[in-house]
Amino acid sequence: MEPKVLVSVDLKWDEFGNVSHTLDAKVPANEYQKSDVVALSVVLLTGSQLGILPPSYALQVCDRILRHLDGLPLNPEPIQYPLSGARIELVQKDGTIVCLFHPSFLGGGTMEPEEAVSRLLGNLPLHLAQILTGELACFYRAGLLIVVNYYLTQGLPKGISRGIFSRGNFNQQKVQFAMLGFNETIYPHWKGGLNMPSSIFSERLEEARSQYKKMMAEF
């Protein structure tokens, strides 16, 4: 079966870094399903980009996500040029759903492209916190924790992610295969809800925090 684009999510932001989105569903979807695919797209985007960004920037993303999951205050960070916009596409492929990322870069700018992308990833939880409620918010938080925990405990320490970000060739085919492979396992579990008991969530969050501190000491 040929890969099929199911939905695209266009991301924009204001001068302070407050993110907004527009969604184009290629298949019929009600409001709940639209919110669900936005949550899934951000989880998959975060997982794939943690495998691309250099560790210094990826760890900044992890820090902001862990703070968000801890319920700590989090303010948006400005996202400056060269990143001027971004699109996420969810693609049906081989029985699962994968994420493609299409950033728009302009010439020049005051920020390194990888820093701009890391700030976008760090600001997205604030945006989704405003639009997700109930079980969808729980699914989203569990998904974020799973990808961050995997990156910190498996991807980074085992050398799966080595930072291959490139302004000139931002090609999803170059994402480290292990991180990409892990991302492809998320949707089958997501379908129906990533139900994580609060005790397990707290345990995984503590594990991720501990591993984050260890990785920061090394990098």
| Token pair in block for residue 47 | 């997982």
Which pLDDT does position 170 carry in this prediction? Answer: 36
Q: Alpha-carbon distance 97 to 41, whole Å?
A: 9
What does the DSSP 8-state code read for residue 191? T
Which pLDDT does position 46 carry in this prediction? Answer: 95
Q: Alpha-carbon distance 107 to 103, whole Å?
A: 13
| Token pair in block for residue 52 | 């691309």
Which pLDDT does position 1 carry in this prediction? Answer: 61
Which pLDDT does position 143 carry in this prediction? Answer: 95
Question: Could you read off the pLDDT tens digit of each residue along the chain, which spans 219 residues?
Answer: 678 899 999 999 999 999 999 999 988 999 999 999 999 999 999 998 998 888 889 999 999 999 999 999 899 999 999 999 999 999 988 888 889 999 999 887 789 999 999 999 999 999 999 999 999 999 999 999 999 999 998 887 765 444 444 444 333 333 366 667 788 888 888 876 787 889 999 999 999 999 999 989 887
Which pLDDT does position 3 carry in this prediction? Answer: 80
CB 163 within 8 A of CB 174: no
| C-alpha separations of 8 from 40, 162, 211 in Å | 12, 28, 33
Which pLDDT does position 184 carry in this prediction? Answer: 80
Q: Rounded to a whole number, what is the distance in angstroms from the first to the last CA of the chain?
A: 42
Handedness of CA 150, 103, 114, 20 (dihedral sign): negative
SS3 of 15, please? coil
